[in-house]
Amino acid sequence: MRRGFFLLAGIAAAIAGSLIYLNNRDVMVMGGHHNQYTAEILVDHLSLSQVASVQWWLKNQNEIRLKYNIVSEEEGGPTLISIFAFGDDYKELGKEDRLCFDDMQPPKNCIDKKRLMAVYFTRDGITQFRFDYSTYQLTDDGRIIKVK
């Protein structure tokens, strides 16, 4: 009985440790592409938690914008920034559903479409973070709230 308890406690600790690691490991930006209306940022992964992904963007957006020359929305830049999983490397168009970039020469100028998060700037000056089935919003006082 005691042995079973320690085994379960060890498994629970390993799972908790793995989740903490996966949620807090550094996100590596692999590339960035943009035009006047949209920008695509390519990353190796995002955090498991949606709120942690939003916090990552808020912390790193200035550095990313500088590196890839993405003008802010207030200055006429894109109002939609999509964060995509980069995958293995750039790929050829092929028959798969891929996103291709005009600022790169074919044939290897595409990625598989796996959007992880979208940052959307509304006309009212609201910043929203959209995931597959949920949306978060940045409040004036810097809080991140889930939109119903």
The model carries a pTM of 0.84
User: Cα separations (Å) of 46 from 28, 34, 41, 92?
Assistant: 9, 20, 12, 24
User: What pLDDT is stored for residue 65 in this prediction?
Assistant: 96
Helix (H, G, I), strand (E, B) or coil at 17: helix
Helix (H, G, I), strand (E, B) or coil at 135: strand
pLDDT tens-digit series, residues 47-91: 889 999 999 999 999 999 999 999 988 888 999 999 999 988 999
pLDDT tens-digit series, residues 88-113: 899 999 888 899 999 999 999 999 99
